[in-house]
Amino acid sequence: MVLDKPSASPPRPDSPRDPHPLTPRAGHDARTGLLRDQLRALPPDAPVRLAKRTSNLFRPRARTTAPGLDVSSLTHVLEVDPVSRTADVEGMVTYEQLVDATLPHGLMPLVVPQLKTITVGGAVTGLGIESSSFRSGMPHESVLELEVLTGDGEVVLARPDNEHAALFFGFPNSYGTLGYALRLRVELEPVRPYVRLRHVRFRDPSAYFDELARSCAEGVADFVDGTVFGPDELYLTLGTFTGEAPRVSDYTWLDVYYRSIREHDIDYLPVRDYLWRWDTDWFWCSRALGVQHRAVRLLLGPRRLRSDVYWKVVAFDRRHQLSNRVRRLLGGPPHEAVISDVEVPVNAAAEFLDFLHREIPLSPVWICPVRQRHPDRQWPLYELDPDVLYVNFGFWGTVPNPGGGSRHNRLVEDKVTELGGRKSLYSETFYDEQSFWRLYNGAAYERLRSRYDPRGRLLNLYDKCVADR
């Protein structure tokens, strides 16, 4: 089945007013052509960036008056093929769009990141994870090919077996510093109508992570993740596809999903609601905005209970330092934002959790196991041992920091490195330059950069993710 669905309504080459609409592929080629024209119109020494209204990143971005490439039209699901179980999508397609296009065929992407407005291109260049990652890895591992606009202004098709294979494998964790994904072909997998959830409580972290590892190794469920509320209150959630449900819960408006983990041993959700169970309350971060009160939720309605709405509020607060100003007025200490996802080998997970409880007073903590899907592949900018099960820890919030600075973030980075783990770069990062390139394979990155952005028109990875230039 061929689709050509935009997420918004900017003018585009194949608009309904056109008496001779283009085919989906021709429409994509036309949109790509316009983007290349924009790039050619820039001065040859001008830096290149995207002009994006929204983001799921938490790094503060340096303000600039330089023009950006307008990618707002690259929001089309070009094709869903239920026979080959693949989808062809443009880079700015959100996972909400993609899921809405694939579920009618009884299919879903192999890994659906938690937030609706994460784009497919963004999840591949910036990594992603979810409760299917213990069996399917990260989103980039189900990409079959990607079309990339490089910093040098060329459009190349990268596959694992062609002349651009190095870019194919080096694109994940490059955060747009090697080029921008214009189109991706991704694998899909079959779904059933409902997901049965079993929430199992543990009081001992070692026993908890042992059971998590066993559940992943034996494949006892289709989805595995967990929520830690305290040192002796840990929940392992096992999700299994099912064709029938004796009842279904609804966490899209008045009820809050993460609270239900403590309340129900067994629960059922429609598959779409399961995929977006974390989006309604941005995991649990919406509580800081006061929207978990039932009266507030009634007033707002379900359409405003979304991660992208919360993100705009938080971005405004951070830009104007409103929360810190209020704390100062009330005589409280400044707070440090600690927003991190890290991967740690499962045999070190209990030690890392103990460190979090001692040093980073944030709760709950999200737990998600991940294993590289293809043991014979290498993703050089974010290398994981394919023989090891890792545990992703997600912890997001602010902590008191009377001395100011980035002490807690640096503690996290040091501990993750000590335990042989990796830190995602979507939030603020504080590594010194030498350590950064050692951890994120600077030699491989520079080889790719010299080939696909020889004039250095894109920010390099360190400048973009750490130096904030």
Give dist(CA 454, CA 446) in Å, integer: 10
Task: Give the count of domains, the chain.
Answer: 2
Structural domain includes residue 443: no
Q: Count the Cβ atoms, other than its own, within 10 Å of residue 59.
A: 17
The domain that holds 211 is classified in CATH as 3.40.462
Range of the domain at 345: 194-423
Q: Above 60 in pLDDT, residue 18?
A: no
Q: Which pLDDT score is estimated for 315?
A: 76
Reported as a single tens digit per residue, the pLDDT across 122-139 is: 999 999 999 999 999 999
Q: Indicate whether 172 and 226 sit together in one domain.
A: no
Rounded CA-CA distance 152/347 in Å is: 43
User: What CATH number does residue 86 fall under?
Assistant: 3.30.465.10
Q: What pLDDT digit, counting tens, does each position of 231-248 carry? A: 999 999 999 999 999 999
| pLDDT score recorded for residue 295 | 96
Give all strands (DSSP E) within 159-261, no chain letters.
179-190, 194-202, 223-230, 233-242
The CB density around residue 170, as the number of other CB atoms within 10 Å, is 25
**Average pLDDT of the residues of the chain:** 91
What is the reported pLDDT for 116?
96
* 209 shares a domain with 292: yes
DSSP one-letter code for 131:
T
Q: Is the pLDDT of residue 16 over 60?
A: no
DSSP string, 400-451: E-TT-SSHHHHHHHHHHHHTT-EE-SSS-----HHHHHHHTTHHHHHHHHHH
Instruction: Give me the pLDDT at residue 23, please.
Output: 75
Residues 462 and 401 in one domain: no
Predicted confidence at residue 62, as pLDDT, reads 58
Q: Residue 469's pLDDT band (boundaries 50, 70, 90)?
A: very low
Which runs of consecutive H residues, i.e. helices, occur in 174-276? 205-218, 257-263, 271-275
Classify residue 44: in a domain, yes or no. Answer: yes
pTM, whole model, 2 decimals? 0.91
Same domain for 399 and 370: yes
Band (58; pLDDT cuts 50, 70, 90): low
Same domain, 58 and 150: yes
pLDDT higher than 50, residue 19: no
pLDDT value at residue 141: 98
Q: Which residues contact 337 (CB under 8 A, 6 or more apart)?
A: 58, 318, 397, 398, 428
Average pLDDT over residues 99-120: 97
- Report the half-sphere exposure of 221 (CA within 13 A, side-chain side): 24
User: Residue 237: inside a domain, yes or no?
Assistant: yes
Q: Please say whether the beta carbons of 159 and 145 come within 8 A.
A: yes
pLDDT digits (tens, 9 = 90+) for 1-15: 545 544 443 334 444
Residue 345 lies in a domain: yes
39 and 121 part of one domain: yes
pLDDT-derived band of residue 277, with 50, 70 and 90 as boundaries? Answer: very high
433 domain-assigned: no
* Residues 103 and 249 grouped into a single domain: no
Is residue 134, in this structure, part of any structural domain at all? yes
- 334 inside domain: yes
Do 284 and 407 belong to one domain? yes
- Measuring CA to CA, how many Å separate 137 from each of 131, 142, 383, 386, 419? 10, 8, 12, 10, 20
Residue 449 inside a domain? The answer is no
The answer, yes or no, to whether residue 22 has pLDDT greater than 50, is: yes
Of the pLDDT bands very low, low, confident and very high (cuts 50, 70, 90), residue 40 is: confident
Are residues 157 and 262 located together in one domain of the fold?
Answer: no
Per-residue pLDDT tens for 184-220? 999 999 999 999 999 999 999 999 999 999 999 999 9
Supply the pLDDT for residue 56. Answer: 55
CA–CA separation, 392 vs 366, rounded Å? 8
Greater pLDDT, 54 or 296 = 296
The C-alpha atoms of residue 164 and residue 148 are separated, in whole angstroms, by 10
Residues 57, 73 within the same domain = yes
Q: For residue 245, what pLDDT is reported?
A: 98
Structure tokens at 157: 């098709």
Q: Are residues 201 and 185 in the same domain?
A: no
Q: What is the pLDDT of residue 10?
A: 38
Whether the CB-CB separation of 380 and 352 falls below 8 Å is answered with no
From CA 187, how far away is CA 84, in angstroms rounded? 8
* pLDDT surpassing 80 at residue 408: yes
Q: What is the pLDDT of residue 61?
A: 59
Cis-peptide, bond into residue 364, ω within 30° of zero: yes
DSSP, collapsed to helix, strand or coil, labels residue 278 as coil
Tell me the C-alpha distance between 438 and 347, whole Å: 23
Give the model's confidence band at 17: pLDDT under 50 very low, under 70 low, under 90 confident, else very high: very low
For residues 274-298, b (16+ Cβ closer than 10 Å) or e, as one string?
Answer: bbbbbbbbbbbbbbbeebbeeeebe
Q: Are residues 397 and 254 in the same domain?
A: yes
Q: How far is it, in rounded angstroms, from Cα 141 to Cα 391?
A: 17
Give the chain's count of helices (H) and strands (E): 16, 17
